[in-house]
Amino acid sequence: MIETVLALLCVSSWFLTWKFSRSWILTSIIFLISIPICTYIVDEHRKQQLQNAMRSEQQQSICGNYLGFSTVERGSKNNKWQQTVFHFQTADGEKYHFPESDLLKLSGEHQQFLEQPPQAFCLTFAQDYSDNNGFYLLTSIHFNKK
């Protein structure tokens, strides 16, 4: 939600600058200044949301098998991007899906496990924090070596 509002504010500032100044130079300057500021604010909001999730008292831990990952398209008609979604299943058959996030930028050994399902895992997520698409925020993950 905040990302959408911020994007609208940025676009509005560019439009209003152009409308009232009719100067490409001034509009370009405002554009170049506001892009990093808007990006920084969105990044800080996401970091704060993840930190809040990690401190949440409503965290749930589950164990099971990692099933693999898929990609989904996000964004608007003109600004599409792909998000990786990781799929997990508990022993009782319940399925969970978590998006790639700041916490889940996996590399090295973890990436090897992600690329070779099924793998046993245990993870924790905050039930009271989710992203704009309804995915819970993953707060920790551990893959069991076989």
Q: Is there a single domain that holds both residue 88 and residue 137? A: yes
Q: Is there a single domain that holds both residue 66 and residue 126? A: yes
Kindly state the average pLDDT of the residues 77-105: 76
Q: Give the model confidence (pLDDT) of 28-39 as tens digits.
A: 787 788 778 877
* Alpha carbons 99 and 85: distance in angstroms, whole number: 4
Q: Give the model confidence (pLDDT) of 35-61 as tens digits.
A: 788 778 777 777 777 778 778 788 888
Predicted local confidence at residue 107, as pLDDT:
42
Q: What range does the domain containing 39 cover? A: 2-55
Q: Is there a single domain that holds both residue 68 and residue 131? A: yes
Nearest to 102 by CA among 70, 128, 131: 131
pTM equals 0.58
- What DSSP character marks residue 55? H
